[in-house]
Amino acid sequence: MQPLDPTYFGDIDPPQRLLMGPGPVNAHPRVLRAMAADLLGQFDPEMTGFMNQVMALYRPVFGTQNQWTMLIDGTARAAIEASLVSLVEPGDTVLVVNFGRFGLLLTEILNRLGAKIETVSAPWGEVVPLEAIAEAIERVGPKVVATVHGDTSTTMAQPLEGLGALCQAAGAYLYVDACATLGGMEIAADRWGVDIVTGGLQKCLGGPSGSGPITVSDRAATRIFARRHVEQGIRRADIVDGAGPRIPSNYFDLAMIMDYWSDKRLNHHTEATSMLYAARECARVALGEGLDARFARHRKAGAAMTAGARALGLTVYGDDAYRMTNVTGVYIPEGIDSEAVRTMMREHFEIEIGTAFGPLQGKIWRLGAMGYNAMKHKVLLTLGALEACLKAQGFSLPLGEAVPAALAAWEAA
């Protein structure tokens, strides 16, 4: 067999697209530069020092003092699955707060874990009232309550103030998936009383997909360590198994992962070094900007995108009172070819906007402005391009109105 010519496929040289959909978004240049740093052995003192720095950097990002604040090697979904597989025991009743695709994802994962699933739901485009969650907690007596914070499928952000207190009063643990909002909207794990919060880098944190930041309360850690069963090949006298049922996943076993991130440095897996560098730099960028300033920038970007879309004559999807700051849904005008517009946006302007899932597929576009892309000029470029593409597809719209409306909204937000 002839060896394959190494130039057969050519160098990787992707187009410089502006990713203005629901995520991923363009990574911050500082994050990309950090990923190019030399690799280190996983127990090199420099490497374990970087791990400790990551833990310290992500505590303010999560709004917590939790010791167990670290990374899960894998995409945001890996952090979700690690949380649920380690916290939920077979037969546990779990109440899922469901208002979009990613609430349904929590249900999917929990079903595979053998949990008894109860749901409290809202129609897509709305959120679940706290009173309805309180009633459901009282009715079903869950061991765990699981919810998404911001669900990009519907562009809605579930209010979480007061939910932790309800869970603690009922003896339940609270899990929150904050993949789409971490670094762009406030996450207050301690104030909200959340036991586990997980995120991802590829949205408001302005990094690549592939690392899942996580924070675990001491209360949840106690439950997880009670299920610790260290694998045979790495057993040590200073790490004692728990009496609870073994966590059914080896890779996503939070008890062993926490021991890896602790001073014990249990050799559970090889840390994804370049992704750790990326996550570290994402947090440094966010904290260097200042979290309050960063949240304000995302509010301005979201308000500008929403105002600009309305000025184009588009109808904005969902409840304004609970809209995520970083993703705006707009209805696709009747008679307009959705994919033709997206193709024009991509081919003529190098801008990507998002489609939708499930009952919203083919009905809305999702316009994102988050992380490194939550900038005034990037919002204005997107709106200007969308105006041109809609006009080319025959949509009657007030020309030249979107950009001034967006600018005014940016300044007012």
Give 324-377 as a DSSP string: -SSEEEEEPPTT--HHHHHHHHHHHH-EE-B---GGGTTTEEEEE--GGG--HH
Tell the residue number behind the tokens 């546990």, with chain if given: 92
pLDDT digits (tens, 9 = 90+) for 142-179: 999 999 999 999 999 999 999 999 999 999 999 999 99
Residue 5 has pLDDT above 80, yes or no: no
CA dihedral for 169, 170, 175, 180, sign (positive or negative): negative
Q: What's the pTM value of the predicted model, to 2 decimals?
A: 0.96
8, pLDDT greater than 90: no
Please compute the mean of the pLDDT values over residues 231-244 and round it to a whole number: 93
Q: How confident is the model at residue 10 (pLDDT cuts 50, 70, 90)?
A: confident
Share of the chain above pLDDT 90, in %: 97
Whether the predicted pLDDT of 3 surpasses 90: no
Residue 122's pLDDT band, with cuts at 50, 70 and 90, is: very high
DSSP conformational letter for 250: S
pLDDT mean over 224-238: 94
Architecture category of domain 291-412 in CATH: Alpha-Beta Complex (3.90)
Annotated binding-site ranges: 366
* pLDDT at site 9: 83
- pLDDT > 90? residue 7: no
Sign of the torsion angle spanned by Cα atoms 72, 54, 18, 325: positive
DSSP string, 65-130: --SEEEEEES-HHHHHHHHHHHHPPTT-EEEEEESSHHHHHHHHHHHHTT-EEEEEE--TTS---H
pLDDT tens-digit readout, 190-216? 999 999 999 999 999 999 999 999 999
- Domain 29-286 matching CATH 3.90.1720.10: the answer reads no
* Length reported for the chain: 413
Nearest to 185 by CA among 144, 211, 148, 145: 148
Q: What's the pLDDT band for 11 if we cut at 50, 70, 90? A: confident
Cα 124 to chain centroid, rounded: 18
Q: Report the alpha-carbon distance of residue 73 to residue 200 in Å, rounded.
A: 11
> What residue ranges do the domains of the chain occupy?
29-286, 291-412
Predicted local confidence at residue 6, as pLDDT? 72
Cβ atoms of 381 and 145 within 8 Å: the answer is no
Sequence ranges of the binding site for substrate: 366
- pLDDT of 26 reads 98
**pLDDT value of position 154:** 97
Provide the pLDDT confidence category of residue 232 given band limits of 50, 70 and 90: very high
> How many C-beta neighbours within 10 Å does residue 118 have?
17
